[in-house]
Amino acid sequence: MLCTVLPIHRAWIHSTLSMHSSSSFSLQSDPSGSGTVGVNYGRLGNDLPSPPQVVQLLKAQGITKVKLYDTDSTVLSALSGSGISVVVALPNVQLSSAAASQSFTDSWIQSNILPYHPNTLIEAIAVGNEVFADPQNTTPFLVPAMKNVYASLVKYDVASSIKVTSPVALSALQTSYPSSSGSFKSDLIEPVITPMLNFLKQTGSYLMVNAYPFFAYSANTDKISLDYALLRNNAGNVDPNNGLVYKSLFDAQIDAVFAAMKALGFNDVKIVVSETGWPSKGDENEVGASEANAAAYNGNLVRRVLTGGGTPLRPNEPLNVYLFALFNENEKPGPTSERNYGLFYPNEQKVYNIPLTAEALAGSPNMMNGSKSQVEAQPPSSVGQTWCVANAGAGEEKLQQALDYACGEGGADCHAIQPGATCYDPNTVEAHASYAFNSYYQRNARGAGPAISPALPMSSLNLPSVFVNFIYHMS
């Protein structure tokens, strides 16, 4: 198969942060072994559709998983028989009771799990949410509560199918830069982090992590580039301790958690990103909050996850991510951004017209079929289409400069020619330049059609004139 750029279809998904009640849905993973992308379903709004309507919406979109931040009976009942997998939650306010008595967790499981499972496919219980950041100081109750919940699952013979975990905020880290120096806060390690990681390891579960590059970028625009935060092509950052190159703040944040776990001897515990997102609107001081940036972040993240590959520190471990949120929620407290993270408006219309499944992404530029040894960054032998390829005669140095421009300022979608991605091979400047130039052309000038000369220099499309590359019209 040829690895070329078809007319651009952006896979933009809007995700969001929640400090309050929410739920999450996941897109089905690509059969090639890539990860999954979930979308949190928050319900802090007075104009949201009913749970049965929401389930129908999710099914219509091809969404196959849901993560709740409670055990609302109307939601769990609506999900029964839907084929959608579910993560439920025991809220922070119940942690002290759950920690104090297995009788409490027995009763909780009897009331909130057994009446629904397995017709409602409950796959995990999130015990608390960002407990270390809870002003009510529920941290001491977390691990005992997790252990009691698990013991109750064992008692009722459902522990083999339901995991126990807990979402952790990045504020639990003492150090996050560089990623290889990631470490947990010293006052949390002995009383809660180490016992929790040991529990997760022993039970075969995973750590949930809430990661928001938006917050880091918004507070450090003088140090963090927007492209780095939005997973767009950029020069990247090299970790001075191990030489790994980071092309996104998201990867750097997740690897900081991996490094922190490794430092405590838990290199084999997996991570699920339980919340991540970028607001489409914010207050004046919320730098970077915009529809375009939200679309770029979530779209690039979805594409990255569904096309496979892990982080630089864990390159072979698929990413599993939940974006927040399903809807814009008009009753969420806090800044404007908190009410503007939704994939859908409450009337069930998309905030962005984007594909939400691996199947929908299959026709996009970054979902090409074929093995890496088979792909080439050249135009296909099709008719009636206009394509752009690099002019090898321009020389490797000039092609590299033009490639950098196209993937940077030019806005070309260059994810597929990054190391390990589907179009990385053949690893030559000419092949990569052809891919990038064609992406740039399809994005910026394809609408000109036959009026564009087959020998038109890319300078007419705003590339520097010395970087001459040709557009071929095949008919």
What pLDDT is recorded for position 405?
66
Give the residue-averaged pLDDT of 50-62.
92
Q: Are residues 282 and 376 in the same domain?
A: no
Cα 42 to chain centroid, rounded: 17
Q: Are residues 208 and 267 in the same domain?
A: yes
Q: Are residues 221 and 91 in the same domain?
A: yes
Give the residue-averaged pLDDT of 438-466.
42
More confident of the two residues 258 and 279: 258
Give yes or no for residue 20 having a pLDDT over 90.
Answer: no
Q: End of a domain among 361, 387, 407?
A: 361
Residue 433 falls inside a structural domain:
yes
Residue 3 falls inside a structural domain:
no
What pLDDT is recorded for position 423?
64
Q: Which of 4-18, 68-82, 84-98, 305-319 has the lowest mean pLDDT?
A: 4-18
Residue 351 falls inside a structural domain:
yes
Query: How many domains is the chain partitioned into structurally?
Result: 2
Q: Are residues 133 and 269 in the same domain?
A: yes
Q: Are residues 250 and 381 in the same domain?
A: no
What pLDDT is recorded for position 441?
58
What are the phi and psi torsion angles at 37 (to 5°)?
-120, 120
Mean pLDDT of the chain: 80
Give yes or no for residue 401 having a pLDDT over 90.
Answer: no
Span 356-378, pLDDT tens digits = 677 777 765 442 222 232 222 33
Give yes or no for residue 329 having a pLDDT over 50.
Answer: yes
Give yes or no for residue 280 having a pLDDT over 60.
Answer: yes
What pLDDT is recorded for position 428?
79
Span 219-256, pLDDT tens digits = 999 999 999 999 999 999 999 999 999 999 999 999 99
Residue 53 falls inside a structural domain:
yes
Instruction: Using pLDDT thresholds of 50, 70 and 90, give the confidence band for residue 393.
Output: low
Q: Are residues 394 and 321 in the same domain?
A: no
Residue 342 falls inside a structural domain:
yes
Span 335-356, pLDDT tens digits = 999 999 988 889 999 887 666 6
Q: Are residues 334 and 385 in the same domain?
A: no
Alpha-carbon gap, residue 435 to 412, rounded angstroms: 9
Domain containing residue 340: CATH number: 3.20.20.80
Residue 249 falls inside a structural domain:
yes
Q: End of a domain among 340, 361, 382?
A: 361
Give the residue-averaged pLDDT of 305-329.
91
What pLDDT is recorded for position 33?
60
Alpha-carbon gap, residue 51 to 46, rounded angstroms: 13
Residue 455 falls inside a structural domain:
yes
Residue 96 falls inside a structural domain:
yes
Q: How many residues does the chain have?
A: 475
Q: End of a domain among 326, 361, 396?
A: 361
Q: Are residues 138 and 282 in the same domain?
A: yes
Q: Are residues 319 and 449 in the same domain?
A: no
> Strand 320-324 and strand 36-40: pairing?
parallel
Q: Are residues 134 and 241 in the same domain?
A: yes
This prediction's pTM:
0.72
Query: Catalytic residue numbers?
Result: 130, 275
Q: Which domain holds residue 108?
A: 23-361
Alpha-carbon gap, residue 73 to 392, rounded angstroms: 63
Q: Are residues 334 and 392 in the same domain?
A: no
Span 85-121, pLDDT tens digits = 989 999 999 999 999 999 999 999 999 999 999 999 9
Q: Are residues 273 and 312 in the same domain?
A: yes
Dihedral angle over CA of 435, 441, 442, 446, nearest 10: -150
**By CB neighbour count within 10 A (0-12 exposed, 13-18 middle, 19+ buried), where does 361 fall?**
buried
